[in-house]
A and B are shown apart, each in its own frame.
Chain A
């Protein structure tokens, strides 16, 4: 009886802000997978996982679940997506005078999409979390289990790389 009541209550309740949460989850998955269908599959897998575990319908938990699913799915075949950060340091980019520089309309021209596609998954992920979701370096560090300093340098290098890909004349300090 109690179980039936619980089930009925569960049917009536929809987590608050679920539309925005699903959209954010999809965009985060898209930033990792860079493919609409794969992003939808990741989001669906994450939702199934949360339902099965009874986890919270909250952004950090959803993002962490999506991230785990992404790693599970691509670990064997896409190691290249998660290169060692030490190795990434070797291809150090020049420094940016302004990390939020004025750029021509690279969105409409399609240049931005192509440039984002050239980034590694971890770079797109960090960029998305920082710029779109407004996560702090500490929050990104928590989500990705990396030191805060690593996130800061990764974000800086990613911006510099993006700038380079977009063909802007970078100002090297």
Chain B
């Protein structure tokens, strides 16, 4: 049986791991354009980034993709990311009182953030939001609170690339119940305490 040095095999293994071409091109375009030095200019930069992302996704749609995951694997990965994001409780970029105000302020997305009907039925009140990524796509991370002030985190993103393959369902991860579904042309992922 042929043998090889283990270090050579480890190097070859990592040489096979490459970022997808659309990610590389998107990052290079973002780097070429440059970024504002201050966080205050983040929104304008995000507008550029969102535009570039759309262009890159369109142009490179036929480029090589990474090994396809099953819908269950994609959904599990997305749900886990949502649970981690919910538990991190990162600082919000926008404080808003309702969804209309959110739409007016959060303008660098490549979609319009909406309020899912579920939130109205659950008597949830919107608090604020921040930009984030979900499954490699730009997303809105929106924080709601219920009548008792308990926060839950809603993610909204376009159903493209990996997110197009999600399977609706519910997951329980790290003390967080994560619901995944599609509504109003968007992928919705809601993370809340169990």
Contacts and interface: CB of A to CB of B under 8 A. Distances in A.
B47 interface: no
What does DSSP make chain A's interface, helix, strand, loop or mixed? helix
Interface in A16-45: 18-19, 22-23, 26-27, 30-31, 35-41, 43-45
B31 interface: yes
B120 to A, nearest CB: 30
A51 B36 CA distance: 7
B6 A18 contact: no
B182 to A, nearest CB: 19
A105 B18 CA distance: 21
Given A54-B37, A76-B87, A77-B83, A19 B24 contact: yes
Nearest to B49: A48
Interface residues of B, number: 46
A38 to B, nearest CB: 8
Contacts of B13: 107, 112-113, 116
Interface of A: 7, 10-15, 18-19, 22-23, 26-27, 30-31, 35-41, 43-45, 47-48, 51-52, 54, 57, 72-74, 76-77, 100-107, 112-113, 116, 127-128, 131-132, 159, 162-163, 166
Interface of B: 1-7, 9-14, 17-20, 23-24, 27-28, 30-37, 39, 42, 45, 49, 66-67, 77, 81, 83-84, 87-88, 133, 135-136, 162, 174
19 contacts: A10-B34, A14-B28, A14-B32, A19-B28, A38-B81, A40-B20, A41-B133, A51-B30, A52-B37, A76-B88, A77-B174, A101-B6, A104-B2, A112-B10, A113-B13, A116-B13, A132-B10, A132-B11, A166-B6
